[in-house]
Structure 1
Amino acid sequence: MNTHTVAASVIDDIPLTPWDVYELGIACAVFGGSHSDLADPWYDFRLCGIRPGAAHGGPGLVVNTNHGMADLADADTVIVPSVPDDCVTGDRPFPPELLEALRRAGNAGARIVSLCNGAFALAAAGLLDGRRATAHWAHTELLARRYPAVHVDDSVLYVDEGQILTSAGLSAGLDLCLHLVRRDLGAHVANQLARRMVVLAHRPGGQAQFIERPVSPSDDDSLAPVLHWAMEKLDRPLSVDALAARARMSPRTFHRRLLAATGLTPMKWLLTQRIARAQALLETTDLPIDGVSRRSGLGTANNLRRHFSLHVGLSPTDYRRAFPAGVEHQRTPGSPVAVSRAG
């Protein structure tokens, strides 16, 4: 089976800002890293510029683009990281070569992804018309004003519209990239990659961009111990009262603290973790569906089917067929097998 190609765009003759470096680095680390021990083959990653071979300078960094816009247009997945501020404001037009390559990729059925304000390039190419999309919260108002045909949502980390995916800024770009790996290669591979990168394995796209993250005054004040405890006991009944008692907090305080730290209510957090556990069990074991539902804490097989189909986009049986236990996961280029609902 052919290796899935991922192409990231770099606009020529523009100095790379620290944000540009960060978001381009996310794409390089996820898709261009050496992760063939997790899935073989891994992705074929390309950096594409208007002029192949051009060097792009940033703070202590030089990026060489050895591929051009033709390679971008022919990729299975196209990623547009941060774009220059003057392109965002309209003071400078996007390179027509980039917009044409994006249109060609879209017409060919490629999966097209933006990180942060890369959504402006997708909008300029007409790829977001009539679609729901997001960007960094600092840019969403301008995105909606400049491109009124786009349904801009500034309240989420990322939006998955199937062929077109957009994310908020910085760490939300990493969430979206891991979401793509999860779509292509399954939850187990995505979780192992997240562990390697020392990040949360799964932040759902519908989680809020605005999350208060207060610095805990002491280790005793951290939610990490109780969340770790809950992860070890997902197969058991877990109530908000039980979690709050374990954290030595009132239920109201625990609810408020978890919402501030993760953007999720306690029961939503538990459901997200249980669905992720069910995905891993379906991929790595031969347990029957009712066994998966019990081990993941979702109760009955019918309850598992209902929640799994709603949040993953496939039935548990179809998901298992896509990612059979003990089989090296492969994917058809440009054709994701599972779609997580972002809203």
Structure 2
Amino acid sequence: MTTLYPNIEPYATYPIAVGDGHILTVEECGNPEGIPVIFLHGGPGSHCKPHHRAFFDPAIYRIILFDQRGSGRSTPRGNLQDNTTWDLLADLETIRKKLNIENWVIFGGSWGATLGLLYAQQYPERVLGLILRGIFLARERDIHWFYGEDGVNRFFPKQWHEFTQLLPEGRWETPLAIYYNYLTSNDIKEAENAALAWANWGNCVVTLGQTTQLLEQSAEIAEIFNEARIECHYMFHHCFLEENQLLRDVDKVADIPTILVHGQCDLVCPLESSYLLEQQWPAAQLRIVPAAGHLACEPEMIATLVEATNEMAKMVATFWKN
């Protein structure tokens, strides 16, 4: 089975100011003269990790990773001001221009796939190809599936009950609004409790119920809080997108080489999303991973993604200009 490439270190790491007080941490690794590829992490509010560099052949790709606004090593951490989907798209263009890149491959999973597809729809001339994993279409039904009643909560009734314990009685139908109020509250204890509950619910679904509860005493409480705060901010505001926008505008990327990768057992972003895209997108190839869920680190998913990056390098090599 295909595995990740060996771990590598960046040959350059630097801050890039993108305006509004936000400074992104950007790193490059691999081949400085290779095919540019930018890795878009999920969340929103998560961050890049060392193994994310290893999905790409370092001899072929110029690998670019960055932490999105308010996330990971970017500052100010957890900041919601001037932090919208459209700000993130502008940031991608700032990075591209700063690095003097004409066009690049986009690699994103979950929320990263959402952002990558939207970027391609806005700047199709800048995209060599797309590799999108476990795509989240950010429709009302997709958000409700994860944070509303009669969705994925039916698979995890005990954990859903724990998630809704913080809600006022009779308000289970609007958890996003209430959690948003908690996570933006000046009451630090209330906000941290909400962040832990938010993270526990998300981790439960992502790992198919195999994770243990996060501890309030964890040294990572600040990171948990920042991630929950940003993710809730985006979900509460419907990711700052119009309803069904990504499917509606798929014709804008009709000719871009694309590989969609989706786990058959993905309960975070059901396979339906990638299937609907494939039906409307002649250039897209859908690779279903039968035994995989949502996580990119599962062995079968790793194999499929690495094979996809190798294949994409061959697909774009004929028209990529160094």
TM over 0.5: no
- Normalising to structure 2: TM-score of the pair? 0.29
Bigger-Rg structure (1/2): 1
Highest RCO, 1 vs 2 (Cα 8 Å, sep ≥ 6): 2
- Normalising to structure 1: TM-score of the pair? 0.28
